[in-house]
Amino acid sequence: MLKFTFRRLSLFVFTMLVLTLLSFSLSFLFPGDTVINHSGQINATPTELVQLNKAYQMDKGLFTQYVAYVSHILSGDFGQSMASQSPIRDEIIELLPATIELSLVALLVAMLIGIPLGFIAAINHNKVSDNAILSMAMLGYSIPVFWLGLLAILVFSIGLGWLPSAGQISLLFEIELVTGIQFIDILLSDSPYKWQAFSDASAHIILPACVVALAPATIFIRLSRAAMIEVLATSYIRAARAKGLSFKQIIFRHAIRNALIQIIRHVGLQFANLVTLAMVTEVIFSWPGIGRWLIESIAQRDYTAIQSGLLVLSCFIFIIHILTDFIYAALNPLARGNKYGS
């Protein structure tokens, strides 16, 4: 297991190096001065410019420049936002947890809905319920997320008035920022209105999370259905039946576990897709996350912000990948001895 962890960690380090190389080269590709793209200080005075050139080693070779850039990032200095002139690091620390929260809740919803439905479809293979679930999945997959978000606001917020349409929490509650993840902050705070705040925050997250979760859930339905059908046709399931186990025992003890192993790898892959959907959804639901911030930065040509936002988001997605790999290894005894970090 130690070897496995080490392999994943080295894979992480090298992937991050390649990603920083990409974002470093973006500074040269974007219009404008390279050092200003690096630092984001568009209104720098000549003396400040000299300092910046020195800090980013602009007079040396490309490799030294890259090393200087990486050391800046490692020390937590992403430069300033060109639009707001505030440090990007602070903005990311404020915004990223909201995105993490939204995407993790959406992932959870997608898995909790998608995987059991897929299993039910596979168990009733070629029956009415199978076809119904499959056609529902097809329909859900083909609905575009921006349209669904607007429709959800129209129906549930404006029409029925059940759920709030925008924001992360009602402005009435004042929650101290500790971890940045709203739910944990609420539970940590000692406000007398803690539980009201909690239920309000839950009401706020339902609509965006469901909108984000729909497309991945349909993919999970198809994945888990295919995996379950495959598992149910294997000879160890037949042997278990001959062993005298009931159908329920076979499903819960053998089939689900083996099917989950096949799905869990795809969950990591789907997560990138899910974060992309979350970015669009954040704009629609005015969710104060990094996705909305990134889209706004793109609109404002805020090159420094685009660079660092890409870096942070891809780092986040990669960490989730590694986590799913660990879960996969924990569930599957065959993967623990795997030779290469694939």
Partner 1 sequence: MNLLDIRNLSIELDTPSGRVLAVDKVSLSIKEGEFRGLVGESGSGKSLLAQAIIGVLEDKWHVNADRFHWRGIDLLRLTLAERRDLLCRDIAMIFQEPMSCLDPTTLIGEQLSEAIDDSQFTGYFWQRKKQRKEAVIKLLHKVGIKKHSQCLTSYPHQLTEAICQRVMIAIALARQPILLIADEPTATMENTNQGQIFRLLANLNQLKNMSILLISHDLENLTHWTSTITVMYSGQFVEAGTTEQIFNKPMHPYTRALVDSSTKANLQIPAKSRLITLPGSIPILKHLPIGCRLGPRCPRAQKTCVVAPKVTSFHGHKVSCHFPLFRETRRKYMQKQQVVKGTE
Q: Residues interacting with partner 1, by CB under 8 A?
A: 233-236, 238-245, 249, 253-254, 257-258, 261, 331-334
Q: Which is nearer to partner 1, 82 or 259 (CB)?
A: 259
- Report how far apart the first and last C-alpha atoms of the chain are (Å, whole number): 15
Q: How far is the CB of 230 from partner 1 (least distance, A)?
A: 13
Which CB atom, from 14 or from 252, has the smaller least distance to partner 1? 252
- Quote the least distance from Cβ 331 to partner 1, whole Å: 7
Q: Which is nearer to partner 1, 61 or 244 (CB)?
A: 244
**300 or 332, CB closer to partner 1?**
332
Min CB(245)–partner 1 separation in Å: 7
Dihedral sign for Cα atoms in the order 87, 51, 18, 336? negative
Q: Cα dist. 292→92, 179, 286 in Å?
A: 12, 20, 8
Backbone φ, ψ for residue 284 (5° rounding):
-65, -40
CB 23 → partner 1: shortest distance, Å? 40
Using the minimum distance from each CB to partner 1, give the nearer residue, 221 or 250. 250
Rounded to a whole number of angstroms, the minimum distance from the CB of residue 94 to partner 1 is 42
Rounded least distance, CB 234 to partner 1, Å? 7
**Nearer Cβ to partner 1 (3/241):** 241
The alpha carbon dihedral of 299, 301, 307, 309 has a sign of negative
Amino acid at 107: L
187 vs 331, which CB is nearer to partner 1?
Answer: 331
Q: Which two tokens stand for residue 32?
A: 């404008």
Q: Which is nearer to partner 1, 132 or 330 (CB)?
A: 330
CA dihedral for 91, 92, 93, 99, sign (positive or negative): positive
With contact defined as beta carbons under 8 Å apart, do 43 and 85 qualify?
A: yes
Q: Which residues contact 287 (CB under 8 A, 6 or more apart)?
A: 98, 99, 102, 167, 168, 208, 281
User: Long-range contacts made by residues 16-25, C-beta under 8 angstroms, separation at least 24?
Assistant: 16/315, 16/318, 17/70, 19/311, 19/314, 19/315, 20/66, 20/69, 20/70, 20/73, 20/311, 21/66, 22/310, 23/307, 23/308, 23/310, 23/311, 24/65, 24/66, 24/69, 24/70
Q: What percent helix, strand, coil does the chain show, rounded to 5?
A: 75, 0, 25
Nearer to partner 1, 151 or 330 (CB): 330
- Helix pair angle (256-284, 88-123), 10° resolution: 140
Residue pair 328/342 in contact (Cβ under 8 Å)? The answer is no
Q: Give min distance, CB of 138 to partner 1, in A.
A: 25
**Among 210, 223, 200, residue whose Cα is nearest residue 143:** 210
